């Protein structure tokens, strides 16, 4: 079995970059600083998650991607660059290679302006087409979720070997079929185009789209 503490220590020695996704938040980029008895210290600079926040962390060491869950035990922890963005993570759990269990860890969701996230790979709403500039989703005509033609929404996507990201979209077209609705979504507001394109390519391959 892989030893998380040994891997984290090696990551700290190499100052490996990490991505951390706070629960109900957005991904922040940081760096592994050191391993302590109580957990691991990461440096985030601006945007560090608050004390008590549960996060999922991804890092890559020697070509192997790892992920784990943890809680922020303390913020304002001293770090080498003397910034105030150091945090101590503890209660580390779910340590695994990021590629393990790929089938159950895809992220493909629609985030309507109100209400919770809607999965596009499980349940009644499904992804029909997935392209970098356009998505097409299908929903039963009786489904309570109704996107307004011309309206805006957010989309969350993530491949099994990395953290998810969000992009903006507009409902370009709404078509009515026999017993279903077909939404054509135009993608906009992409903060990291290279990363977005890589995730879309991975999801298309995994889902055979």
- pLDDT tens string, the chain, 209 residues long: the values are 467 899 999 999 999 988 888 876 677 888 999 999 889 999 987 778 899 999 888 888 887 878 888 999 999 888 876 666 789 999 998 888 765 543 346 889 898 877 778 889 887 888 988 999 999 998 888 887 667 888 888 998 988 777 888 899 999 998 887 788 889 999 998 988 898 999 999 898 888 88
Multiple choice CATH, 102-207, 1.10.357.10, 2.40.10.220, 3.30.420.40, 3.10.20.30: 2.40.10.220
Q: What is the pTM of this model?
A: 0.58
CATH 2.40.10.220 domain locations along the chain: 4-97, 102-207
Q: In Å, how far are 32, 138, 209 from 43, measured between CA atoms? A: 7, 42, 38
118-119 and 126-130: which strand pairing? unpaired
């Amino acid at each position: 079995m892989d030893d998380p503490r040994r891997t984290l220590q090696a990551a700290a020695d190499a100052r490996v970059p990490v991505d951390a996704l706070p629960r109900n938040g957005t991904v922040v980029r940081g760096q592994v600083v050191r391993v302590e008895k109580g957990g691991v210290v990461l440096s985030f600079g601006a945007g560090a998650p608050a004390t008590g926040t549960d996060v999922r962390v991804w890092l890559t060491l020697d070509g192997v991607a790892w992920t784990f869950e943890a809680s922020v035990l303390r913020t304002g922890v001293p770090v080498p660059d003397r910034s105030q963005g150091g945090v101590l993570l503890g209660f580390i759990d779910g340590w695994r290679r990021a590629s393990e269990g790929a089938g159950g860890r895809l992220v493909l969701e629609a985030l309507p302006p109100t209400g919770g996230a809607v999965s596009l790979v499980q349940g009644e709403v499904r992804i029909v087409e997935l392209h970098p500039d356009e998505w097409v989703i299908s929903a039963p005509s009786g489904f309570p979720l109704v996107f307004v033609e011309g309206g805006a929404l957010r989309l969350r996507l993530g491949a099994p070997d990395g953290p998810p990201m969000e992009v903006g979209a507009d409902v370009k077209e709404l078509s009515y079929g026999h017993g279903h609705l077909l939404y054509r979504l135009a993608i906009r507001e992409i903060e990291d185009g290279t990363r977005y394109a890589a995730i879309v390519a991975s999801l298309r391959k995994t889902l055979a789209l």
